Amino acid sequence: MLELKDVVGIVTGVILSIGGGGAIVLGLSAWLGKIWANRLMTADRAKHESELEQTRSQFKHSNDLRLNEIKNELDIYKEKHLKGHADKIAIYRLVADVIVDILGDLDLVTITGATPEDAKARWDRFNRGRMKAYGYLAMLAPQSVMDAIDELMDHLIEITHGKTPYVWPDVRKRVLGLLNEIRKDLGIDESPIEYRGRL
């Protein structure tokens, strides 16, 4: 078995026996080795750059597809959210109209002392209006709004049945409670509005 020192000795002996030609062969082989190494490196670099560019292109295409999917999902969500918000505003306006009619009737009966026949017709309108308002709200309002409408309507029913006197500040307080809950639900303003007038 040959040892490393034997191999080195043989190679050295061959180079010395060739003489100056050995140095030339050694120089040529080093030069050719560099050229081959450069060519191989250039070919490998070109191959890797091509693969990298292909990967970038696939990644960009995949990203573009996913971005379009996300954009479409956001557009759908935005449309649903805006439509739901617009529906809430429309229903809250209808409820406000119903409440205004009810309060107007109560004021009219209280101030003018409407006849029993008028009172019956006004009670019917109030009753239908409150049921409509409740139905509208139950479709989309949160429990906090439902609690506020319950508080207001129960108070108005007690007034119309003669169990509670019609005191405007008490009614106003409940109306403002409802409006404040609606404002919170719509995201208009978290701070409550309050009456600062003199009546």
Examine residue 72 and state whether it is found in any structural domain, yes or no. Answer: no
Examine residue 115 and state whether it is found in any structural domain, yes or no. Answer: yes
Examine residue 104 and state whether it is found in any structural domain, yes or no. Answer: yes
Please give the average per-residue pLDDT across 126-143, as a whole number.
89
Residue 1's pLDDT is 59
Is residue 8's pLDDT more than 60?
no
Percent of the chain predicted with pLDDT > 90 = 20
Is residue 73's pLDDT more than 70?
yes
Question: What are the CA-CA distances from residue 179 to residues 33, 108, 158, 176, 182 (Å)?
Answer: 87, 23, 21, 5, 5
Examine residue 36 and state whether it is found in any structural domain, yes or no. Answer: no
Percent of the chain predicted with pLDDT > 70 = 82
Please give the average per-residue pLDDT across 90-114, as a whole number.
83
Three-state SS sequence of the chain: CCCHHHHHHHHHHHHHHHCHHHHHHHHHHHHHHHHHHHHHHHHHHHHHHHHHHHHHHHHHHHHHHHHHHHHHHHHHHHHHHHHHHHHHHHHHHHHHHHHHHHHHHHHHHHHHCCCHHHHHHHHHHHHHHHHHHHHHHHHHCCHHHHHHHHHHHHHHHHHHCCCCCCCHHHHHHHHHHHHHHHHHHHCCCCCCCCCCCCC
Examine residue 179 and state whether it is found in any structural domain, yes or no. Answer: yes
Examine residue 44 and state whether it is found in any structural domain, yes or no. Answer: no
**Of 6-20, 48-62, 77-91, 112-126, where does mean pLDDT reach its minimum?**
6-20
Domain count, the chain: 1
Residue 87's pLDDT is 87
Q: Which domain holds residue 95?
A: 82-186
Please give the average per-residue pLDDT across 109-133, as a whole number.
78
pTM above 0.75, yes or no: no
Tokens at 75, concatenated: 């557009």
150-198 residue pLDDT tens = 999 999 989 888 899 989 999 999 999 999 999 999 988 778 888 888 8
User: Dihedral sign, CA of 58, 60, 61, 66?
Assistant: positive
Examine residue 170 and state whether it is found in any structural domain, yes or no. Answer: yes
User: Mean pLDDT for the chain?
Assistant: 81
Residue 147's pLDDT is 97
Examine residue 97 and state whether it is found in any structural domain, yes or no. Answer: yes
Residue 129's pLDDT is 86
Question: What are the CA-CA distances from residue 170 to residues 16, 25, 97, 148, 174 (Å)?
Answer: 119, 112, 20, 13, 7
At 3, the pLDDT band (50, 70, 90 cuts) reads low
